[in-house]
Amino acid sequence: MAASHTTDPRVIRVGMLGCGVVGQVLLKLLDKHRPDFVRNGFDLRLTHVAVRDAAKARPGLPAGIRVGTDPLAVAGARDVDVLVELMGGTTLAVEVACQALARGVPVVTANKAALARHLPRYLEAARSGKAAVAFEAAVAAHIPIMEVLERSLACEEISVIKGVVNGTTNYILTFMERAGCEYADALADAAAKGFTEADPRLDVDGIDAAEKLSLLALKAFGAYFPPEAIHTEGITRVAQADLRLAQAMDHRIKLIAAARQTQQGLSLRVHPALVHKGELLADVDSEFNAIIIEGPAFKELTFLGKGAGQLPTASAVLNDLVKLAREPGHSALPVFARESATGLRLADKDNVSLCYFLRLPVKPADAWRAIERIGKLGLRVLSNAQVETGGTTWLGVIVDVVDEPRLLALLPQIAAIPGVQGSPVFIRLDKDNYRDIVDREQSAYFGASLERKPGAGI
């Protein structure tokens, strides 16, 4: 028999800032799950809503709720026990959330930009008001990664946390592969389907992913580095030829956000990367997100799920509200303090050593010679392929681990190789050790080598 409470439920009064895409679905979920709340001895009752346009029709908004246009008034209202911030932005939203926290009102937010950019303010306000902050919805919406890092892995040594955390760019890259089109057409399709923000640069330039990485690293390593400190590149320069060449060499291109412990410090990077098809991240398509955590004790944990969208986000917000209702003191800030975070510094952004993919326009008859010459420059070519797009033959090569400054210095020499008809474009590999990929492949296929014969193409 299901347990249920017989006494009157404890009423928790909710003030909501914003009633847009996510807020409207949260209204429905609050209504749908009311019987569950009551069975567990509490009720989440909406008392105030702040929006920009109070006259706009809001289906699902219960009668009798005060709808205004002043978020500060909601944050300061006496009949608000918890504030839900779903309005977005990094100025007023921060102001309002911090005011509520400072006066002891807990805050649930999906606003990764505000948190990642102004974390010290949230921390200070939460400390002074002794109020809880919950932000599961801010990173990878329906993947409960914050909870896992904060609680289940609180005292775990983590060496890497990485993932595909931006659904829009993942949709664009997947669309480019499937439709065989260039970036601009895929962006137009994503915009037409409503998958892009009002300012698409937040997604396509990697800014949204960097904000999420800042929060993931905060939880995984206990140290705060703002998004500006993260090496950030977007997907705007990924071309159809890159995707086809990567494909021909058993890779896919994804926007990867990665935090890695290295001997030089913590490496925080967001950029497009070739991911081998044997890796989980290569299979994450469209609006899905995936996060992988690596550590010596557990080796690898993987999480896959819907990373954005109104229902996954609203549902993550609701679950945070329920967590606070059940355990009022539990806060996602401050994070679990780790000794290892003391003095943790960032690794030099420019001084990485990785495997690299190069794409260069070539005369078809000279491709083989170009590969030899690249080898003579000291780069070990591990794989290669050729494709043709728009009348140009492109040679793609994957080269073994090399220091990035050295690779950059060699690019003009590669461009000058006879038969090479322009400057090479490079994209990093997700792995800093191609041997991992080869070894994995060999163990999976009993000896088959990934390393291809020069000239093999599609």
Ligand X SMILES: NC(=O)c1ccc[n+]([C@@H]2O[C@H](COP(=O)([O-])OP(=O)(O)OC[C@H]3O[C@@H](n4cnc5c(N)ncnc54)[C@H](OP(=O)(O)O)[C@@H]3O)[C@@H](O)[C@H]2O)c1
Binding-site ranges for ligand X (CB under 6 A): 18-23, 50-53, 56, 69, 71, 86-88, 92, 110-111, 137, 141, 308-310, 313
Tell me the pairing of strands 251-262 and 160-164.
antiparallel
For ligand X, the closer CB: 275 or 308: 308
Minimum CB distance to ligand X, residue 197 (Å): 8
Quote the distance between the C-alpha of residue 55 and its chain's center. 35
CB atoms within 10 A of CB 36: 10
Least Å distance, CB 293 to ligand X, is: 21
Contact 114, 326 (CB under 8 A): no
- Dihedral, CA of residue 311, residue 313, residue 317 and residue 323, to nearest 10: 90
Nearest CA to 113 out of 279, 275, 228, 273 is that of 228
The pair of three-digit structure tokens given for residue 203, joined into one six-digit string: 């997604």
Q: Which residues of 393-417 are buried (b: 16+ CB within 10 A; e: fewer)?
A: bbbbbbbbbbebeebeebeeebeeb
Nearer to ligand X, 308 or 410 (CB): 308
CB of 385 to ligand X, least distance (A): 37
Q: How far is the CB of 338 from ligand X (least distance, A)?
A: 27
Closer residue to ligand X, CB minimum distance, 20 or 419: 20
Q: Which is nearer to ligand X, 18 or 222 (CB)?
A: 18
Structure tokens at 157: 């040594």
Query: Is 376 in the active site?
Result: no
Q: Which CB atom, from 88 or from 424, has the smaller least distance to ligand X?
A: 88
Set 212, 219, 254, 306: catalytic member: 212
Q: How far is the CB of 61 from ligand X (least distance, A)?
A: 11
| CA distances in angstroms from 282 to 285, 288, 421, listed in the order given | 8, 12, 31
Tokens matching residue 21 = 């895409």
Q: Which residue matches tokens 């749908």? A: 32
Side chain identity at residue 161, one-letter code: I
Q: Which residue is nearest to ligand X (CB)?
A: 20
Residues labelled as active-site residues: 212
